[in-house]
Amino acid sequence: MDYGLGDKTALIYGLGSTGMGAARGLRDAGVHVAVWDDKFAEGVDADMPFTVLKPDEIVWSRIGALIKSPGIAPTKALVQKALENKVPVLCDVDLLARRERGHDVSFIGIIGTNGKSTTTALVGHILRESGRKVAVGGHLGTPAMQLPELPTGGIYVMELSSFQLDMMRELRIDGGILLNLTPDHLERHGTMENYLNAKMRMFALAKPDAMRVMGTDQPILLAEAAKTGDFITIGVRNEAAITVRDGWIRDRGDKKIKLSDFPLLPGPHNAQNLACAYALLVPRFVTIQQFLKGAASFKGLPHRLEDISVIEGIRFVNDSKATNAESAVYALQSFQHVYWICGGQPKVDGLGDCVNHLENVRAAFTIGDAAGIFCNELQAHKVPTFRCDTLDKAVADAYATARTEGLEGAVVLLSPAAASWDQFRNFEHRGDVFVNLVRSLAESQGPRRRLYS
């Protein structure tokens, strides 16, 4: 298996986990591999297990492909040099497509601004539960090139980022979902149109009979779907082929999925994820019975509206992944009485659209660098808000307030609407600290607590 490179060298550009995965996969297949990362300009780690090729030493006629890491902008000089020298610039999913060429396997791609990881994991889970051989990865979890080789009939379910897509050339999917599109990464893509075009590459390259699913709540996607008529449209807020209405997912009006059967997938955004998964999978990949059975045993992903515990009737939910206002809005709409812990390293738009969705918020508890600004903003919107600064104080205060009010359906929700780097290593670390605080609280409350496993 030479990945179509013959005896030419694969030059890996960017050595994060994706680049390292690609380098290892190619080397193990016997391909010549060389690597470069801009950080090598300051010195190369002595343990680097691959040949390092400096940009000014590259003989382009010996390079079969430049494998670009997703984080590297296509405008970078080395990428442009490769293109000038007619060297194909590929991403790791293209290599996976080359590796699997001629094998009877399928590819599913899941893209969008929010909900990719959840939907990818959900689709993978339902397929696996229905007895299919599945590998799940890409932007989420295992990089594409480290996914195992699957037997005949196997399905690769991949979350793809717009950074992977903007130069993808060879992956031809059998099914794909574009969940939504809201302004994000515009520093890289420039305009919403460019951002959309990057996403649409996946469908442009798809097999002709591929399943094409698109969430059409945003006008830009509604217009895009209308252009070709090739998409099964999904509407949570609008009319569409598949809609979410009155607690049901309806297929052309017919009730198909009762949302209250899936309490671990709360909120309108998870209803959208479920509806997209349904449109993609039923009936092409699984039956409706298999779908419902599989979805019912899906526990969600950690740090995304993750149910942690119920203490004295108060539920604790970890949504540490909500690093921007957009995601937190969905969390705020997902529960009846919210004691909201928010804050961290603020994004440019502060609490953004969250201030238009405060009707379920009983009280807020602000932390991190944003503690002061968020506190002022929320108080200006008449939400009783307590500046706590630290997560441990916020958990204790939110719990005490919720207990005092004693409302049925009370939820202490960590959904920060801000990045985590001011006080934590990353959003996972922030979520783990929250979970541990809640567990200690549960222990301190004695045997009447109820903890989820």
The interface with ligand ADP within residues 198-257 (CB under 6 A) comprises: none
Q: How far is the CB of 182 from ligand ADP (least distance, A)?
A: 8
- Residues 364 and 378: their CA atoms lie apart, in Å, by 8
Q: How far is the CB of 259 from ligand ADP (least distance, A)?
A: 14
Which residue type does 51 have?
T
Q: What is the largest CA-CA distance in the chain?
A: 73
CA distances to 87, 135, 168, 214 from 80, in Å: 10, 33, 15, 32
Q: Name the one residue in this structure whose structure tokens are 């080395």.
A: 78
User: Is residue 272 within the footprint of ligand ADP (CB under 6 A)?
Assistant: yes
Closer by beta carbon to ligand ADP, 18 or else 180: 180
Closer by beta carbon to ligand ADP, 69 or else 118: 118
Closer by beta carbon to ligand ADP, 281 or else 331: 331
- Tell me the backbone φ, ψ of residue 202, rounded to 5 degrees: -60, -40
**Minimal CA–CA distance to 411: which of 313, 325, 344, 343?**
313
Reported for 191-199, long-range contacts at CB under 8 A and 24+ positions apart, including other chains, are: 192/220, 195/162, 196/220, 196/221, 196/224, 198/162, 198/165, 198/166, 199/111, 199/112, 199/162, 199/165
**From the list 68, 269, 362, 387, which residue makes contact with ligand ADP (rule: CB under 6 A)?**
269
Q: Name the one residue in this structure whose structure tokens are 């010996």.
A: 62
Which residue type does 301 have?
L
Closer by beta carbon to ligand ADP, 67 or else 331: 331
Using CB positions, name the residue nearest to ligand ADP.
115
Q: Count of CB atoms within 10 A of residue 328's CB?
A: 24
The interface with ligand ADP within residues 61-100 (CB under 6 A) comprises: none
Closer by beta carbon to ligand ADP, 206 or else 414: 414
Q: How far is the CB of 412 from ligand ADP (least distance, A)?
A: 16
Q: How far is the CB of 117 from ligand ADP (least distance, A)?
A: 3
Stretch that binds ligand ADP, among 10-18, 87-95, 252-260, 267-275 (CB under 6 A): 267-275
User: Hey, which residues does 346 pair with through a beta bridge?
Assistant: 418
Closer by beta carbon to ligand ADP, 273 or else 309: 273
The interface with ligand ADP within residues 305-334 (CB under 6 A) comprises: 305, 319, 321-322, 327, 330-331
Stretch that binds ligand ADP, among 265-273, 290-298, 372-380, 416-424 (CB under 6 A): 265-273
Closer by beta carbon to ligand ADP, 175 or else 431: 431
Terminal CA-CA length for the chain:
44
Q: How far is the CB of 116 from ligand ADP (least distance, A)?
A: 3
The interface with ligand ADP within residues 118-157 (CB under 6 A) comprises: 118
Q: How far is the CB of 110 from ligand ADP (least distance, A)?
A: 9
Q: How far is the CB of 101 from ligand ADP (least distance, A)?
A: 28
Binding pattern for the stretch 93-122 against ligand ADP, x by CB under 6 A and - elsewhere: ---------------------xxxxx----
**Cβ-Cβ contacts under 8 Å for 362 (sequence gap 6 or more):** 337, 338, 339, 384, 401, 402, 405, 407, 410
Which residue type does 70 have?
P
Q: How far is the CB of 3 from ligand ADP (least distance, A)?
A: 28
Q: Count of CB atoms within 10 A of residue 19's CB?
A: 25
Which residue type does 436 have?
N
Binding pattern for the stretch 386-415 against ligand ADP, x by CB under 6 A and - elsewhere: ------------------------------
- Residues 395 and 386: their CA atoms lie apart, in Å, by 12
**From the list 304, 337, 362, 387, which residue makes contact with ligand ADP (rule: CB under 6 A)?**
304
- Residues 441 and 433: their CA atoms lie apart, in Å, by 12
Token pair in block for residue 46: 């002595």
Stretch that binds ligand ADP, among 33-41, 189-197, 237-245, 269-277 (CB under 6 A): 269-277
8 Å CB contact between 162 and 189: yes
8 Å CB contact between 162 and 144: no
Closer by beta carbon to ligand ADP, 243 or else 273: 273
CA atoms within 13 A on the CB side of 372: 1
Closer by beta carbon to ligand ADP, 199 or else 321: 321
- Residues 432 and 438: their CA atoms lie apart, in Å, by 10
- Residues 190 and 146: their CA atoms lie apart, in Å, by 31
User: Hey, which residues does 413 pair with through a beta bridge?
Assistant: 317, 340
How many residues of this chain interact with ligand ADP, rule: CB under 6 A? 18
Q: Which residues bind ligand ADP (CB under 6 A)?
A: 114-118, 179-180, 269, 272-273, 304-305, 319, 321-322, 327, 330-331
